[in-house]
């Protein structure tokens, strides 16, 4: 079979699919948390089918990681790209604090900060500094994700850097990606060990791995590297939708 025939999804189609799954997953999980802010395990007390739908939202972050690694290569102005991410990270944080103040307080930051730090890590890697200095800058960026407690802390930067470094070595890239995927899900589930029924734990672990594997296959097998029909609209829509979906879910939860 000609592999090119499988590449049926353009950039905007992939992003719409990703944010659609993200929205459904967040609607389920955030509604559970907003209904019981004192219960950090409220998500895992839901019916199994809802937990699996929530886990399917893990399709979205790897797609974001792919596009950050890809964006470094194709963006016309990397400084403006980084500044744009910073602005939307700050805007999104205001929405997150408003919606989740009772759940998280102020001490956690949204995933766009992680994406920004991943981009800065790639910029550092491609700089003219000495190797040890570039490595130190990447480690510094990763350390900042821990200090901020931003979503996908540690792992987000590693995914983005790995996808960038091994871009032209698909077998090695897949190996690195799957290794990080397995470690991430194992660490996440180990933090829940003993707190969940065995079936729920298995669903969380399996669902997360399958969703993230599906994201990789989508970006490497089905994605054709082309823009959509309305790239300018889509670009700003995707930026605006992330902070806006906090309020959409919050308002739906109040109905």
Query: What does the alpha-carbon distance between residue 252 and residue 160 come to, in Å, rounded to a whole number?
Result: 33
The DSSP letter of residue 45 is: G
Instruction: Give me 255's structure tokens.
Output: 């109905």
Query: What does the alpha-carbon distance between residue 100 and residue 93 come to, in Å, rounded to a whole number?
Result: 10
Q: What is the pTM of this model?
A: 0.94
pLDDT of residue 104: 75
Q: Model confidence over 146-192: pLDDT tens digits?
A: 999 999 999 999 999 999 999 999 999 999 999 999 999 999 999 88
Query: What does the alpha-carbon distance between residue 37 and residue 39 come to, in Å, rounded to a whole number?
Result: 6
The answer to whether 13 and 228 have CB atoms below 8 angstroms apart is yes
Confidence grade of residue 199 (pLDDT, cut at 50, 70, 90): very high
- Reduced to 3 states, what is the DSSP secondary structure of residue 9? strand
What element of type H or E holds 180? helix 170-190
Report, as an integer, the average pLDDT of 204-219.
97
Query: What does the alpha-carbon distance between residue 207 and residue 123 come to, in Å, rounded to a whole number?
Result: 33
Residue 170 vs residues 72, 87, 165, 207, 253: alpha-carbon distances, Å: 18, 33, 11, 24, 43
The answer to whether 243 and 88 have CB atoms below 8 angstroms apart is yes
Longest dimension (CA), the chain: 56
């Amino acid at each position: 079979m000609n592999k090119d025939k499988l590449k049926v999804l353009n950039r905007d189609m992939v992003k719409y699919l990703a944010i659609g799954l993200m929205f459904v997953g967040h609607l389920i999980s955030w509604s559970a948390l907003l209904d019981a802010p004192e219960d950090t395990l409220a998500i895992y007390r839901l019916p199994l089918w809802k937990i699996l739908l929530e886990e399917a939202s893990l399709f979205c972050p790897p797609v974001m990681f792919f596009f950050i690694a890809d964006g470094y290569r194709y963006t016309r102005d990397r400084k403006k790209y980084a500044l744009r991410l910073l602005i939307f990270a700050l805007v999104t944080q205001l929405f997150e604090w408003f919606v989740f103040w009772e759940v998280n307080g102020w001490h956690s930051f949204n995933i766009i900060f992680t994406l920004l730090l991943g981009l800065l890590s790639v910029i550092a890697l491609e700089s003219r500094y000495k190797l040890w200095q570039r490595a130190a800058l990447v480690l510094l960026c990763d350390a900042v994700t821990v200090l901020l407690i931003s979503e996908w802390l540690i792992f987000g930067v590693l995914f983005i850097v790995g996808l960038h470094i091994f871009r032209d070595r698909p077998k090695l890239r897949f190996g690195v990606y799957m290794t990080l995927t397995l470690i991430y899900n194992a660490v996440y589930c180990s933090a829940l060990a003993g707190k969940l029924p065995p079936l729920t734990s298995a669903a969380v672990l399996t669902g997360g791995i399958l969703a993230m594997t599906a994201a990789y296959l989508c970006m490497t097998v089905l994605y054709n590297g082309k823009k959509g029909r309305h790239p300018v609209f889509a670009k700003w829509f995707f930026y605006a939708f992330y902070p806006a979906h906090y309020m959409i879910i919050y308002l739906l939860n109040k109905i």
